[in-house]
Amino acid sequence: MAPHGNRRATIFARVSSGTATLEPDPARRQGWTVCVDGVPQSYVDLGDPTVLAFEYVRRLATVLRLCAPAAVPLRVLHLGGGGLTLPRWVSATRPGSSQTVVERDPLLLAVVAKHLPWPSSVGVEVADAREFVEAGDPRSYDVVVTDVFEGAAMPASVAGVGFARAAARLLRPGGVLAMNLTDVPPLAYSRIQAATVRAAFGDVAMIAPPGLLRGRKAGNVVLAAAAVPGSLPVAGIAAAVARDPEPARVWHGDDLTGFLGGAKARLDGYA
């Protein structure tokens, strides 16, 4: 294990998107929170990569865990790097997996590589997520994870129907898309984004905390999608997120249709 996890002073660095800080967790000897301009991006425990401190990461991990039999290696594309929390988790729980991380900010990657080195089995590309997806070979991945942000918002380049269809093209038969986004009540953005993903995938589920769905607070929403209707392991996902320390609910099928309330897919039009 690299010695960097024992440093207890906060690390500051200029990155392309602002100022990054690596803040030590006083409760865990090798735990770090990666922030950019004060916004927490990732939590990494160098001593135990199965520790997933952020609730939305646990929900993404639940989708990955249930999309294939336990311990079966997967080919995973991660759009958005941060501290590479989920790639570390996949390496620990599914040894032999082939993973590619696409991150646009090379300075952030350099800081993470220096202080929070990731497994050598994880490949990293400095690239734009949309451009990488559009240039990718069809049916190349079992899972595509989209966790791309500019500040606290998903950029338009990965929010439209064109991106959703390009991501669907990359998936092998039975493959799954897992997408993280943020929203505030009354969840207009989530409705449009779910409708957008539905335009490209036959089966879509939305995972969100009850407080967010009741209009009480802002938070993260995770969308899971597969090509074939009825192919998502919805019952297993619902049971797992209900048992989480920060429980969530799953909207699927007619329930999701009702939630969308006629929302239309977002067409591409980004600069």
User: pLDDT tens for residues 90-127?
Assistant: 999 999 999 999 999 999 999 999 999 999 999 999 99
Token pair in block for residue 188: 């207009």
pLDDT at 5: 44
Domains of the chain are 50-260 (3.40.50.150)
Q: Is the predicted pLDDT of residue 1 greater than 90, yes or no? A: no
Q: Is the predicted pLDDT of residue 23 greater than 80, yes or no? A: yes
**Which of residues 22 and 2 earns the better pLDDT score?**
22
Are the C-beta atoms of residues 167 and 146 closer than 8 Å to each other? yes
Of 60-64, 183-187, 189-193, minimum mean pLDDT range: 183-187
Residue where the block lists tokens 């609910």: 249
Token pair in block for residue 173: 């038969």
3-state class (DSSP) for residue 102? strand
Residue 191, H or E segment: helix 188-198
Name the band, by pLDDT with cuts 50, 70 and 90, for residue 178. Answer: very high
Name the band, by pLDDT with cuts 50, 70 and 90, for residue 169. Answer: very high
Which pLDDT tens digit goes with each residue over 207-226?
A: 999 888 777 788 999 999 99
- φ, ψ of residue 252 to 5 degrees: the values are -155, 155
Mean pLDDT taken over the chain = 94
Cis preceding-peptide flag for 186 (omega within 30 of 0): yes
Give the distance from CA 233 to its chain's centroid.
18
Q: Is the predicted pLDDT of residue 33 greater than 70, yes or no? A: yes
Which pLDDT tens digit goes with each residue over 187-207?
A: 999 999 999 999 999 999 999
Average pLDDT over residues 259-270: 88
